[in-house]
Amino acid sequence: MSTLRAAIFDLDGTLVATEEHNQVVWRAFLAQRGHTWDDAELSALVLGRRGIDVFRELGHVFPGEEPEALYAEILAVDERMRQPEPAAPIPGAVDLVRQLAASGVTVALVTSRWRSGAEEILQELGILQHFGLLVTAEDVARGKPHPDGWLFALERLGITADEAIAFEDSVPGVVSATAAGLRTVAVTPAPTAEVITLAQRVVADLTTVDVVSLQSFPH
């Protein structure tokens, strides 16, 4: 059994409860463009993914428009709808990150957010200083569900997949982490059948996860 050398976290929905706000932003953007999608369809399209990748798939919805311009537009909507208070951490997230860092396990991030936004959220949570590596949207050509971000993190950390554990909440995230060969903890109170099949452990939040249990995590 390999020693656990790194814990690699997704951000939205895994460390911080921002997914509901992100859904509200997408609905507002679509509404101002004259589109209405049901929650299930929207969730399946956007959760866990980079916005730019979503817009690259929506050429039929926005014919003749550049994905980069559409992404800039939704970022402006997000800024207008910015919540006055920092988003709440997922229960147990802050304690787990601090516990891992104190035990000598490298803490890293692989997120679909751009670096500035990721750093801001981690700073608000008071845990930015514990992260030894941030892999953000601009670091890879392909976002989740492709494994590129996780593979890049492993390369930068100089470790193999069996020396790390991934934490994810979304289907694209779990698919991407497991495709990179990582043992994966799915953090979701409502896991899909695909998540249950792929992840080695499924938890509603991070209050039941600790360093001891991760050190003996099955391969």
Calculate ∠ Cα 167-56-27, nearest 5°: 70
Structure-model confidence comparison of residues 191 and 18, the more confident one: 191
Q: What is the mean pLDDT of the chain?
A: 92
Contact partners, residue 133, CB within 8 Å, separation at least 6? 106, 108, 109, 153, 156, 157
Please check whether the domain covering 19-80 is classified as CATH 1.20.950: no
Residue spans of the domains in the chain: they are 6-17+87-215, 19-80
Active-site annotation holder among 12, 53, 78, 169: 12
The yes-or-no answer on residue 205 being catalytic is: no
| Strand (E) or helix (H) holding 9 | strand 6-9
Q: How far apart are CA 174 and CA 191, in angstroms?
A: 11
Residues 162-209: pLDDT tens digits? 999 999 999 999 999 999 999 999 999 999 999 999 999 999 999 999
Active-site annotation holder among 10, 53, 78, 169: 10
For residue 209, the model assigns a pLDDT of 97
Burial of 181 (C-beta count, 10 Å sphere; 0-12/13-18/19+):
middle
The yes-or-no answer on residue 53 being catalytic is: no
Class of the CATH domain delimited by 6-17+87-215 = alpha beta
Q: What is the pTM of this model?
A: 0.87
Decide if pLDDT at 39 tops 90: no
Decide if pLDDT at 109 tops 60: yes
